[in-house]
Chains A and B, each alone.
Chain A
Amino acid sequence: METKTTNELLQNIQAGKDEALKALYRQYQPQFLIWAAKRFDLSEADMKDVFQDAVIILFKNVQSGKLEVLTSSLKTYLYGIAKKLLLKKATKQRNTTPLEDYELPPVEMQLLYDFEKNHQQHLLKAAFEKLKENCRQILTLFYYKRYSTEAIMHEMQYSSKGTVRSRKLQCLKALREAFIN
């Protein structure tokens, strides 16, 4: 029973379902908070924050196929990420240089938020936020969820693949103008 639901959970994560992310979070957060409270001098808010990031990283890694997780190792892998993030946060709060051992592997580093954006990226971001919802959706489906043009057509109920293509080009155009200026 347990294996079956965990398997189902894993499948849903692979499919990128929001509910799977929530389920993952609900299932493993309480135990993690207890574990972390004993070992780290961080506030509960900080620990929750870290665990949210960890769950999102795992979710994305599994979904993108960058990581193949077996049902049995789901929890291990999740806690592994969370632990590394915790160490990173705790080290940062103590204001010391992070230890070499605790450096995150490249894949995870790439997925961590990057708040250091240059001016051009700020403009681009502002332009992205101003895009119409269906523009953001079409770009998210193509560049993030890696949907094919056909899959996007079905998902967003466009009449043809041509419509999807021209819509995508229009959306990119709005961004390009911000990017160049």
Chain B
Amino acid sequence: MNNELTEEQIERVGDYIMGLLSKEERMAFEQQLIVNPVLQAEVNLQKEVILLVEEAEDMRLKEMLKEVDLEAEDKAEDSTGGRKWWLVAILVLILLGIAWLVWKGQEESPERLYAAYFEPYQNVLVPTVRDAGVPLDVLEAFQAYEDGNYETALLAFNQLPVEVQKPDYELYEALSLMQTNRVGEAIRLLQVLKNNSDSQFREHAQWYLALAYLKQGNTPKARQFLEGLVENKSAIFEKKARELLSKL
């Protein structure tokens, strides 16, 4: 038997699998098929070709429909294109607004200014070396203050006997109160100190009052005390007060 199929046979295979043969032709063909494996292989091949062209066609159609979707999306995008620009513009404005607020906040937040300007006033009253002239209680209080142990300092200040109390100690007590976040109490003490004509710390009291009010977020009150310092040309605080005022 010949291993090669004739062109006619190959064509007949095509007609057979596509159902184009008459009943007689088909039966004759199937008789040959049983005895001819080469013919059988050709039938298998051409059946595969049917699947291949079908698959290729399916893919082509699928791509075509995806294209339809893409076109529809493009159209939808075009029609909302104008609105989109507005949305972008509005978004940019909102972001700018937020950025401005954050910047403003950084510049002017009373809390931040307080943190930037507040520093506990140095101990200029009591030398914390053992000295015959200074009672031990007072020494302890100021030692704690210098060490930054404000709770301990407060406790010590509170327990000072009346006879060793001096009005100027109140500045350090008030600053200890501010350091331990008891701003209200600190303000009361500072007010007293500010009005005490015997005190050498009246300007200090004003300065720290301004800062205490800043910490409370009360900018108008803070401004009031700072302006007082500027008006009175405070030797120690005028410059600082001007600077701080400019940032409020």
Q: How long is the Cα–Cα vector from A55 to B55 in the complex, in angstroms?
A: 15
The 8 Å CB contact of B64, one of A18, A121, A180, is A18
Q: Is the C-beta of A77 less than 8 angstroms from some C-beta in chain B? A: no
Question: When A18-B64, A25-B68, A52-B62 are in contact, do A140 and B45 touch as well, CB less than 8 Å?
Answer: no
Which residues of chain B have C-beta atoms less than 8 A from A125's C-beta?
Answer: 52, 55
The SS class assigned to the B binding surface is helix
Q: Are A136 and B56 within 8 A (Cβ)? A: yes
Q: Is the C-beta of A154 less than 8 angstroms from some C-beta in chain B? A: no
CB distance from B44 to the nearest CB of A (A): 8
Q: Is the C-beta of A128 less than 8 angstroms from some C-beta in chain B? A: yes
Q: Is the C-beta of B27 less than 8 angstroms from some C-beta in chain A? A: no
For B51-65 the 0/1 string (1 means CB < 8 A from A) is 111111110011011
Interface residues on A, range: 20 to 34
Q: Is the C-beta of B50 less than 8 angstroms from some C-beta in chain A? A: yes
Question: When A128-B56, A179-B45 are in contact, do A144 and B61 touch as well, CB less than 8 Å?
Answer: no
CB distance from B71 to the nearest CB of A (A): 10
CB distance from B4 to the nearest CB of A (A): 11
For A105-119 the 0/1 string (1 means CB < 8 A from B) is 000000101100000
Interface residues of A in 36-93 (CB under 8 A from B): 48, 52-53, 55-56, 59
Q: Are A143 and B61 within 8 A (Cβ)? A: no
Interface residues of B in 27-52 (CB under 8 A from A): 41-42, 45-46, 48-52
Q: How long is the Cα–Cα vector from A172 to B47 in the complex, in angstroms?
A: 12
Which residues of chain B have C-beta atoms less than 8 A from A179's C-beta?
Answer: 41, 45, 48
Q: Is the C-beta of A175 less than 8 angstroms from some C-beta in chain B? A: yes
Q: Is the C-beta of A26 less than 8 angstroms from some C-beta in chain B? A: yes
Which residues of chain A have C-beta atoms less than 8 A from B45's C-beta?
Answer: 124, 172, 175-176, 179
Q: Are B10 and A56 within 8 A (Cβ)? A: no
* Contacts A18-B64, A146-B18 known; 18 new A-B pairs at CB < 8 A: A25-B65, A52-B65, A55-B65, A56-B61, A113-B55, A114-B51, A124-B48, A124-B52, A128-B52, A136-B53, A139-B49, A140-B53, A140-B57, A143-B49, A168-B11, A169-B7, A172-B10, A176-B42
